[in-house]
Each structure stands twice: as C-alpha cells, then as structure tokens.
C-alpha cells in the first residue's frame, strides 16, 4: 500500500492535459500517402510521439465526430491525382487545420474518440469492462443492489462510468451508481481517503444532492445516489435528457438551448455560493463546479460529485484556470468556475475561451458587473473576489433564501488535517504546472518572434550592413597596403 500511495500521482494519466499536433511530413508508401503527425502532451517537451495516419483515417474520425453538430472542415476526397506532390502538400495543410479545429473544442478534444486517434497506446484498455469488474467486487460485500443497465457516454470523463441500479428493498426505485478510477491528483493517503468517502452519505445540506452509499478501495471510488430523470442543469440548458444520446451530441453544439431568467440566475447563484461557503468552512474543497454537476429540483439547485476532489480527479475547467498565475488557491478556482457557470446559465452556451471581455448587449447591467469581476482578462490577472465577497454583492445579497434545516457534516479533526495537507499539495502541484506552461509560452513567443517576417527582414538588413562594413574594411586594408608598397619602392 505504501508504494501505491507514493507513486500513484506519477503513474495516472491526466486526461485533461491538452494535446497539440503538427503534421510534419507526408510519405508515399506505394498505394497511399501516410501523414506523419507529431503529438505533444502539455508543456513538458519530452511528452511527445509520432503517429502515422492515412487520409481514410481522418475520414473515419470525422464520421465519428459528426454527431457533435460542430462543422469541421476536412479536406474533400479526390479520385484522381491524389498522389501528386502539390495536391499532397495542399491536403496536408488542410488536415493540419482540421486537427487544430478539433483540439480547439474542449469536449471534442477530451472525447475517447479523439484520444484514441492521437494516442491509441494510452487508451487501448477496455475501460468499461474494468469498471464493471471493480463494481462487481464491491457488490460481493454489499449485496443490496441489482444492476438495471449501464449508461454509456453519459458524461465527458473517460474513466467515470455510470450504471442504473435498483435496491432490493425497493425494486421500483432507480438509483445511479458511478465508478471512477483514482485521478492524478490523489493526495489523500489511502486510509484517510476511504474514511472521508464513507462520511459523505452522512452529509445533509439543502443544496447538496444526498448520497445513498459511498465506498473506496485500492482501485477507485463508487457512489450511489438518486437517479434524476430530468438530468442536470446542463441537460436543462441544452434541452436534453441524460439517457438520450452521446454526450457530444447533447452538449458540444446543441441545436436548441434555453437561457435562465435573471431571477433564476440570482437564486441559483446564491444557493451555490452558500453551499461553497459551507464546504470551505468545513475545510472540504469542491473544485468541480460546472453545470453538469448541478441538479435542479423545485427551484433548488444541488451540487453533485463531492467525491471527485477526494478521488483526485482533474477539474472540468482545469485547462482554462491553469493559464493564470493568480488562480493558485482552491477558493479562487471555485470563484472562477462560478463565473463560467453564470455565463452558461445567462447565454445558454459554454465559454470556449479562458476569459471574456465583451458580453452580449442584452446582458443585464447587474449581472454584467458580476461577470466582469470574474471572467475578464484584467480580473483573471489580478485577485478574484472571495466567496464571501460574492455573497455580499448586491446581485446575490438581494435574494432571501427560505428557512431550511441546519446543514450537518462532521469531520474528525485528524481527517481535517489530512484534507488540509492534500489541498496544499494540490495547490503546489497547480503552481508547478502553471510555471511549466508559462515557460512554454515564453519559448513559443520567442520562437514566433524569431520566425516573424519583420524579424527576418531585420536580420537580413543587419547581415547586409555587417557585410558592407566588412567589405569596406577590406577595401581600406588593400588601399593602405598599396600605399605602403609604393613608399617602399620609391622613385
């Protein structure tokens, strides 16, 4: 167990680290053309590899991604002359642009379809089968539920698997089981982690979805909660239901969507801020706030997946907030994520960039003032407001919440210390990752400047001046030598 605890984070792949691709060349292998693609994972230069793909492989990829409703411009087919050098070069450029457009969309880039296309070796395992085996092992000691059906492609996480179950005591009831392998940010020791997970079903809060059962073992964690037929807040916004289709079809670019009324945004925002404050007062970070982790029931929103942070899973918005030096503390990450959630509720679509400096004209001024505090480039470069600051903002403080039962969640002091240490380790890791990203940005910027047309012109002019100066010196030297020679020879 000690070895497992020590080396876990270094062995587990972070599926959220972005991939970038460059098609370096194309080669004729007889009957077809192969494109050599170099793939880079994240900011560590050594994390790269090459893959070989035919045009038909790209066509097959495009067919799988078609359900997303995102228009991806793949170069067209050509029956004749498709081996000619000029055409291959043109197609290579088109395929490069095609890959770039895919990786610009977070949901596409994080899908198993794209991961296996670019990194088949790391995603060759049957993740579903492995998850079912882990769940079966737990059910041997907890024989209280019966499997109804697995729900494939319900969410964006590659290693999170959902199964509809029914309790033997009430076979008409439907509950949702979720299994997740440990993530790369598992910093809680195994003993303490299992203890915290077992505490979660005891948590009572009006704005947290209750758990029926929670357990963790050496492989990951399993949670059972009520199955919400109407789905999450994102399902509501995208006008779909959880069992309807693949998550790419539901969420990548929905054909129709709805936006929330300002009063609803105020009420739900206030509820979310209250529950975040409660968790932080208890010393338990959340770190996974987004519309897919919220359910709405009778004008009340409730958070899902409190277990994610404990299991070490990366955040949905990690690739965005990791770009900013000031977003290094868990609370600032919650606040930034809260801003992105408000944006989605207000405009019916996810923000695809790290920041937003202009908002639609129809955005109410009071809501705009909150979004500007949380999402603008200037805000993210400086200190974001705290959770308490937002609770005191007029947009949320004007909402009066009805009286409810007092929240209950008791965490032993020893576990609180372990959670605090794990949170500090995560923040330290985040800081180191941000440092690597900033170093890569500086190197990339310097390289782009070095290869810019203006810099190339400047270097050519400098070289020309140096050559002219050198020639001038040579001419002067020859002239001096001739003068000296004539003086030696004499009349």
CATH of the domain at 60: 3.30.1520.10
8 pLDDT more than 60: no
Phi-psi map region of 27: left, alpha, beta (phi>0 left; psi -120 to 50 alpha): beta
Residues 174 and 277 in one domain: yes
Give yes or no for a contact between 325 and 438, defined as CB atoms under 8 angstroms apart: yes
pLDDT-based confidence at residue 477 (cuts at 50, 70, 90): low
Q: Where are the alpha helices (DSSP H) in 282-361?
A: 307-311, 318-321, 330-347
Residue partners of 118: CB distance under 8 A and separation at least 6: 19, 21, 37, 39, 51
Domain limits for position 346: 127-439
pLDDT-based confidence at residue 478 (cuts at 50, 70, 90): low
The predicted structure's pLDDT at residue 3: 33
Give me the mean pLDDT over the 10-33 stretch: 89
Residues 315 and 378 in one domain: yes
Q: Give the Cβ contact number of residue 263 at 10 Å.
A: 9
Nearest to 251 by CA among 350, 120, 369: 350
Taking the C-alpha atoms of residue 177 and residue 165, their distance in angstroms, rounded to an integer, is 7
pLDDT-based confidence at residue 80 (cuts at 50, 70, 90): confident
pLDDT of 132-174, one tens digit each?
Answer: 999 999 999 989 999 999 998 888 999 999 999 999 999 999 9
- Residue 135 within a domain: yes
Domain end point (choices 97, 122, 147): 122
Domain end point (choices 81, 98, 122): 122
Residues 276 and 219 in one domain: yes
Residue partners of 332: CB distance under 8 A and separation at least 6: 326, 383, 384
Return the half-sphere exposure (C-beta side, CA atoms, 13 A cut-off) of residue 80.
0
**54 phi and psi, to 5 degrees?**
-90, 165
Torsion angle, alpha carbons of 307, 310, 315, 318, to 10: 170
Residues 203 and 274 in one domain: yes
Residue partners of 394: CB distance under 8 A and separation at least 6: 366
- Residue 459 within a domain: no
H or E element at residue 19: strand 19-28
């Amino acid at each position: 167990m000690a070895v497992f605890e020590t080396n876990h984070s270094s062995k587990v792949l972070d599926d959220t680290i972005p991939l970038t691709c460059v098609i370096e060349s194309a080669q004729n292998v007889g009957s077809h053309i192969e494109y050599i693609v170099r793939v880079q994972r994240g900011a560590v230069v050594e994390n790269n590899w090459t893959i070989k793909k035919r045009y038909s492989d790209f066509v097959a990829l495009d067919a799988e991604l078609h359900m997303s409703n995102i228009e991806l411009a793949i170069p067209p087919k050509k029956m004749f002359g498709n081996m000619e050098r000029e055409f291959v070069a043109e197609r290579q450029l088109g395929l490069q642009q095609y890959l770039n457009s895919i990786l610009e969309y977070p949901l596409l880039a994080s899908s198993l379809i794209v991961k296996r296309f670019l990194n088949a070796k790391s995603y060759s395992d049957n993740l579903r089968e492995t998850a079912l085996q882990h769940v079966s092992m737990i059910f041997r000691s907890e024989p209280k539920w019966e499997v109804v059906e697995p729900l494939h492609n319900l969410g964006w996480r590659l290693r999170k698997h959902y199964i509809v179950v029914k309790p033997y005591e009430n076979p008409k009831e439907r509950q949702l089981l979720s299994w997740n392998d440990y993530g790369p940010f598992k910093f809680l020791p195994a003993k303490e982690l299992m203890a915290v997970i077992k505490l979660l079903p005891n948590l009572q809060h009006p704005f947290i979805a209750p758990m029926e059962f929670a357990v963790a073992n050496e492989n990951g964690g399993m949670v059972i909660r009520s199955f919400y037929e109407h789905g999450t807040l994102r399902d509501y916004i995208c006008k779909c239901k959880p069992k309807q289709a693949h998550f790419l079809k539901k969420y990548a670019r929905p054909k129709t969507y709805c936006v929330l009324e300002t009063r609803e945004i105020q009420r739900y925002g206030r509820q979310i801020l209250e529950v975040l404050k409660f968790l932080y007062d208890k010393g338990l970070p959340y770190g996974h706030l987004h519309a897919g982790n919220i359910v709405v029931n009778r004008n009340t929103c409730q958070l899902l997946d409190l277990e994610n942070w404990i299991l070490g899973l990366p955040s949905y918005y990690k690739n965005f907030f990791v770009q900013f030096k000031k977003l290094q503390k868990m609370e600032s990450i919650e606040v930034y994520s809260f801003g992105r959630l408000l944006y989605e509720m207000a405009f019916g679509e996810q923000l695809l960039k790290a920041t937003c400096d202009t908002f639609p004209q129809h955005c109410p001024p009071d809501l705009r003032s909150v979004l500007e505090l949380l999402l603008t480039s200037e805000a993210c470069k400086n200190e974001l407001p705290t959770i308490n600051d937002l609770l005191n903002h007029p947009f949320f403080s004007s909402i009066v919440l009805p009286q409810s039962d007092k929240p209950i969640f008791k965490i032993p002091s020893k576990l609180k210390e372990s959670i605090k240490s794990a949170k500090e380790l995560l923040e330290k890791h985040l800081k180191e990752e941000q440092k690597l990203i900033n170093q890569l940005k500086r190197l990339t910027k310097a390289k782009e400047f070095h290869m810019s047309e203006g810099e190339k012109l400047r270097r050519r002019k400098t070289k020309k001046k140096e050559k002219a100066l050198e020639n001038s010196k040579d001419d002067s030297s020859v002239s001096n030598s001739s003068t000296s020679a004539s003086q030696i020879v004499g009349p």
